[in-house]
Amino acid sequence: MRNPNKGLTLDDFSKLSDDRFKLDSRKIRKNIARLIEADGIMLPVDRLIRGYYLSEKPYIWINRLGIQKRADSLLVILENAGTCGVNTKILRVKQLKDDLYRMRTLQIDAESGDINMLMARLEYNLTKSYLRYSSILRFGISNPDYLYNNFEKLENDSVSERYRQLSDLKIERPNAEFIQQALAKALNDSINDFFVTLQPKSKLYRSLLNLLGQQNLKPAYRMKLLCNIERCRWRLTKFPDNEIERRIEANIPSYSVRAIDNGNVLYMRMACGALKHKTPLLASNVMRMDINPQWIVPKSIAKGFIHRPEYMHRMGMFVYDKKEGRLSPEQASYERMMNGEQYIIQSGGPKNSLGRIIFRFDNGFSVFLHDTSSPGVFKRAGRAVSHGCIRVEKPYELALFLMKDEDDELADKLKYSMTVNLFEDNDSIPNKNIDKKKMVRTLYVKPPVPIFITYYTIYYDESGHIVDYQDVYGYDAALEKQLKPFVE
């Protein structure tokens, strides 16, 4: 049989060429630049993606043979992003599916653009979707320090606006190092393993995701879940591990403190800042405990005591003058008080507003955990009543938790110091019968124990069940506005 292809030359094959399917790396680069120029920046990671491609770094998903198989692995993950509450629209899932189909079937037409535009769009959108989703799972969407420190106006005039500082969490944000790590995982075909490592490992986070997966959720409750899932994703620069085995959590909406040690939980009620004196969100380490502390009365409160010497005597208060030292309540001066030259100080003891013990940790708000002289507050349902500090229901038990391995003798001394009557008459005459050998004034926490002041409106109750709480400070509403474009 005669061979019909005998005598074919390269010229014969050139006739089969179709310009519609010619890949040109330079054209792809130019098209990516055009896409970047037309595209907006919704998330911090978008800016980093822009820098990557404008620096002409290697392609991740395409090559001269077409589309890498890793693109299909990524698409499967992106299609299921809704299970984590992320809107697939911002991940451009539909566009990616359509473009992958066109590329695989070579349906190049006016709608899709030429092949170099199609390849540019796939490369850019795959990277953008991959890094957006990775970033959301690893860092969350919002920055709480920016959000809450622009929440409540402190002062408003014709020149500037000032806001009350309500957060000092200092969370991690996506950076060039994270981008390099993520793209290295993609190039090594380790996408699935990478996504496993991104999400928080906390029990609360897993519980919230399980609740999110339930059918027929009311829109308002679903949004509340998404707000709290977002909070779980905030990773603190000071404490990257969001599930430290030994820690204290003071959660504002639940009005509760949980002291946790390897899964064992000491639970107690708390009272926190009133709406006008919101307790700030922060993370620190409890460094020491002061027993029978003095209270330096804030100016906003002290000015109401200046002309009430009888009350000040009864409550064990005195005046401290920077020039003259300790003075009697009758010598209080409004002018010197307002100028910071005098202070009203309340002596330590059972009538002290700080109670018998205070738990100190570094922070820029002068906020601490402490006992209270008014334990009846813990019987209230709403306990946002303080000037910012947190009053705890079980101060002695919390102190024992922080002491951990200290001996029983020291625990007995602590109990004695917290219950002995320091004064005989109106908190002014010292009790001469105090056993000074049993008295302790300061205990240092070694090693320091992390403390987190948090704001979860879906959180644990006393029995460890997940419960829905009131949005005490209105933070959910503010967070919801930032999340809406990104969640579903």
Would you say residue 316 has pLDDT above 70?
yes
State whether residue 196 is helix, strand or coil. helix
Residue 16: per-residue pLDDT: 44
* Averaged pLDDT of the chain: 91
Higher per-residue confidence, 9 vs 144: 144
Would you say residue 21 has pLDDT above 80?
no
Residue pLDDT, tens place only, 345-380: 998 888 899 999 999 999 999 999 999 999 999 999
CATH architecture for segment(s) 244-292+353-455? Beta Barrel (2.40)
Over residues 124-137, the mean pLDDT reads 97
Over residues 307-332, the mean pLDDT reads 92
136 burial type by CB count under 10 A (0-12 exposed, 13-18 middle, 19+ buried): buried
Q: Helices 176-187 and 191-198 sit at what angle, rounded to 10 degrees?
A: 140
Would you say residue 51 has pLDDT above 90?
yes
Over residues 426-455, the mean pLDDT reads 89
Over residues 440-463, the mean pLDDT reads 97
DSSP symbols for 325-363: EEE-GGG--HHHHHTTSEEEEEPSSTT-TTTTEEEEE--
Quote the CA–CA distance of 14 and 406 in Å, as a whole number: 87
> Where residue 13 falls among pLDDT bands split at 50, 70, 90?
very low
Residue 488: per-residue pLDDT: 76
Would you say residue 131 has pLDDT above 60?
yes
Residue pLDDT, tens place only, 252-275: 999 999 999 998 999 999 999 999
Q: Which residues contact 270 (CB under 8 A, 6 or more apart)?
A: 250, 255, 256, 257, 369, 383, 390, 391, 392, 393
Over residues 9-27, the mean pLDDT reads 66
Of 40-44, 73-77, 192-196, 207-211, the poorest mean pLDDT is in 40-44
Residue 407: per-residue pLDDT: 84
Over residues 92-117, the mean pLDDT reads 86
Would you say residue 155 has pLDDT above 80?
no
What are the domain boundaries of the chain? Answer: 25-239+468-488, 244-292+353-455, 295-346
Of 4-13, 16-25, 158-167, 168-177, the poorest mean pLDDT is in 4-13
Share of the chain above pLDDT 90, in %: 80
Quote the CA–CA distance of 253 and 468 in Å, as a whole number: 9
Quote the CA–CA distance of 419 and 79 in Å, as a whole number: 61
> Where residue 106 falls among pLDDT bands split at 50, 70, 90?
confident
Residue 251: per-residue pLDDT: 98
Catalytic residue among 313, 370, 387, 465: 370
Residue 265: per-residue pLDDT: 97
8 A C-beta contact, residue 373 and residue 353: yes
Residue 9: per-residue pLDDT: 62
Active site residue 389: yes
Catalytic residue among 227, 387, 389, 465: 389
Higher per-residue confidence, 111 vs 99: 99
Residue pLDDT, tens place only, 388-437: 999 999 999 999 999 987 788 999 999 999 999 887 665 567 788 899 99
Would you say residue 32 has pLDDT above 50?
yes
